[in-house]
A and B are shown apart, each in its own frame.
Chain A
Amino acid sequence: MSRPEELHFLTVAEAGRRIREGSLAPGTYVEALIERVRRLGPMLRSTITLASESALAAAQVAESELERGAWKGPLHGIPIGIKDCISTAGLRTTANSRLCSDWIPSDDAPAVAALRAAGAIVFAKLNLNEFAWSIPSEDDLYPPPRNPWSPDHFAMGSSSGSAVAVASGLCPAALGTDAGGSVRQPAANCGAVGLKPTHRLIDSSGSLGARTICELGPITRSVEDAALLLGALVGGNTSYVDSLKRSPGRVRVGVLSRYIDLAQSDPQISAAFSEALRVMSDLGMEVLEVEIEGLAKAAAANFVVLNAEAFAAHEQTLRARMAAYGLSARLYHAQGAFLSAADYIAALSVGEAVRGRVDDSLVAVDALATPVVPVLTAEAARTAKAQPHTGGSAIFTAPFNLTGHPAIAIPGGMSREGIPIGLQLVGRTGGEADLLRLAYAFEQATPWQAMHPPLDVA
């Protein structure tokens, strides 16, 4: 039997193996994580709703199924956190807004249903910026999560609670949403893996987000776990994880040096990125310079699309119940009212043009590499420009929301202050298997995945 303290940092893959072989009971696992959430939750503030009762009941069901040999796959009995803007049947879904503080959806979002069908247990609803589009503040319905590596700082958003919970050993994996970097940035900032899949690979209905640019994606502690969750989210595709450990072969990695220089990243991030390129080169990958025209414009255009779609989704509620929004969310969602149809169409057109250029560049190379975010902390991200998701803090992530290409953030370094630094890899449309294989090779060659925040130091 495993001791509770040994369970907190199990990967999904390892916990799944133990559950299948019978050395770990889902109930024991869930109990250990509940205890950890209760102990660390008040400090970390990552959890809005801990689904103790339903998670324990689901664990009992999983144990019965396993006893009679009805194993559903590697997620069977695995507790998973869900960003609280994604609907969960019978479980409160607040979007961290006073507007939804008592909303209990009757249906699961399809992505949640897919995870449950794979045997996963919905364990907790996780904190976020209000409606995933605001600057978090202490007077939010639930105050902002703290970065477990440096609790004096907030965690980057908007899937902040998801990244904090995974990095802190409160749950082995979470499901977030990403409309401009909201899975990848918090994952990088907390030392986790965050995957934004190809546009529409995963059904994003049942979540609150901008329709044409927002994807649901897993946040995990390993690339293998991201592959496992992605497989379940697309309905039981095991090819992502099956191909993971094959050699990626003679991979060509494109580096957008001129674009990266534009961002004037923190010197520690630039140094970590250079070191990541050296690691890839040592792995036998060919690192090549690449230029793609219009990426900065794509980041800005993504911001226009996000604002237009955020207002469109909230228009009636803004008019009827403006005061129920937090101040920041109120202003963020209102600003899209001032955009014209021509603005929106022009922004989408930028996406079409730049998508073609990214596709062209991904003929010459197998993946693109960039840092994830040019600054180290959530506070610095906010001052990088007046608003997040613009060309400031989202300069590396947002273009690929607009173009729809898959992108993954993986741990790629550590700052002197002890705050993780991420590496972003961008793949071909529908090329998640290749992208994950490349990320896995990098992960295996670096020490970052094995590191955990110093939360258990006496």
Chain B
Amino acid sequence: MAAALHLELADDELTRLLPMVQDLLAVAEKIRHEQPGAIDRAGPRDPAAHQPG
């Protein structure tokens, strides 16, 4: 993944980075799932709301 991002890291650096990133992504995922976005917040809409006019 680091290579895909064009970050040149040695194998031992990747070994050290991996658990850091795993921690970070776990934190980020927990926040994202507990913090719905604008569409999630709006909930399912009344189909009538989509009618033109």
B37 on the A face (CB < 8 A): yes
Instruction: State in angstroms the CA–CA spacing of A238 and B5 once bound together.
Output: 50
- Cβ of A338: which chain B residues have Cβ within 8 Å of it? 1, 5, 21, 24-25
Question: Which residue in A307, A318, A343, A387 is a CB contact (below 8 Å) of B31?
Answer: A343
- Cβ of B8: which chain A residues have Cβ within 8 Å of it? 319, 322
A300-B30, A331-B16, A342-B32 known; A318 and B7 CB under 8 Å? yes
- B23–A304 touching, CB < 8 Å: no
- A337–B7 touching, CB < 8 Å: yes
A-contact 0/1 string along B16-40, CB 8 Å cutoff? 1101110111011111101101000
B22 CB to nearest chain A CB (Å): 9
Interface size class of A (residues with CB under 8 A): 20 to 34
B-contact 0/1 string along A312-333, CB 8 Å cutoff? 0000001100100001001110
- Cβ of B13: which chain A residues have Cβ within 8 Å of it? 327, 330-331
Segment with Cβ contacts to B, from A27-35, A146-154, A345-353: A345-353
- Cβ of A340: which chain B residues have Cβ within 8 Å of it? 28
A330-B13, A343-B31, A346-B31 known; A307 and B24 CB under 8 Å? yes
- A386–B37 touching, CB < 8 Å: no
**Chain A interface helix/strand/loop/mixed:** helix
- B28–A386 touching, CB < 8 Å: no
B48 on the A face (CB < 8 A): no
A334 on the B face (CB < 8 A): yes
- A335–B27 touching, CB < 8 Å: no
- A387–B23 touching, CB < 8 Å: yes
Instruction: State in angstroms the CA–CA spacing of A301 and B28 once bound together.
Output: 7
A18 on the B face (CB < 8 A): no
A356 CB to nearest chain B CB (Å): 14
Instruction: State in angstroms the CA–CA spacing of A340 and B20 once bound together.
Output: 16
Interface size class of B (residues with CB under 8 A): 20 to 34
- Cβ of A304: which chain B residues have Cβ within 8 Å of it? 24, 27-28, 31
Q: Which single residue of chain A is at the shortest CB-CB distance from B12?
A: A327
- Cβ of A390: which chain B residues have Cβ within 8 Å of it? 23, 27
B6 on the A face (CB < 8 A): yes
Instruction: State in angstroms the CA–CA spacing of A340 and B37 once bound together.
Output: 14
- A337–B31 touching, CB < 8 Å: no
- Cβ of A442: which chain B residues have Cβ within 8 Å of it? none
A451 on the B face (CB < 8 A): no
- Cβ of A334: which chain B residues have Cβ within 8 Å of it? 2, 7, 9, 17
- A342–B37 touching, CB < 8 Å: yes
- B31–A350 touching, CB < 8 Å: yes
- Cβ of B29: which chain A residues have Cβ within 8 Å of it? 343
Instruction: State in angstroms the CA–CA spacing of A297 and B30 once bound together.
Output: 9
- Cβ of A301: which chain B residues have Cβ within 8 Å of it? 31
Instruction: State in angstroms the CA–CA spacing of A301 and B31 once bound together.
Output: 7
- Cβ of B1: which chain A residues have Cβ within 8 Å of it? 338
Instruction: State in angstroms the CA–CA spacing of A346 and B24 once bound together.
Output: 14
- B31–A300 touching, CB < 8 Å: yes
- A349–B24 touching, CB < 8 Å: no
- A322–B9 touching, CB < 8 Å: yes
- B31–A335 touching, CB < 8 Å: no
A303 on the B face (CB < 8 A): yes
A319-B7, A337-B5 known; A350 and B19 CB under 8 Å? no
B-contact 0/1 string along A365-393, CB 8 Å cutoff? 00000000000000000000011001000
Q: Which single residue of chain B is at the shortest CB-CB distance from A340?
A: B28
A83 CB to nearest chain B CB (Å): 25
A18 CB to nearest chain B CB (Å): 50
A339 on the B face (CB < 8 A): yes
- B20–A386 touching, CB < 8 Å: yes
A418 CB to nearest chain B CB (Å): 33
- Cβ of A342: which chain B residues have Cβ within 8 Å of it? 32, 37
Q: Which single residue of chain B is at the shortest CB-CB distance from A339?
A: B28
| 16 CB < 8 A contacts A-B | A297-B31, A303-B27, A307-B24, A322-B7, A330-B13, A331-B16, A335-B17, A335-B24, A338-B21, A339-B24, A346-B31, A346-B35, A346-B37, A347-B31, A386-B23, A387-B23
Binding site for B on A (CB under 8 A): 297, 300-301, 303-304, 307, 318-319, 322, 327, 330-332, 334-340, 342-343, 345-347, 349-350, 353, 386-387, 390
The 10 A-B pairs with the shortest beta carbon distances in the complex, nearest first, are A343-B28, A346-B32, A346-B35, A300-B27, A337-B5, A338-B21, A331-B17, A304-B28, A349-B35, A346-B31
Binding site for A on B (CB under 8 A): 1-2, 5-9, 13, 16-17, 19-21, 23-25, 27-32, 34-35, 37
Given A319-B6, A343-B25, 9 more pairs with CB closer than 8 A: A301-B31, A327-B13, A330-B9, A331-B16, A335-B17, A337-B5, A338-B21, A339-B24, A387-B20
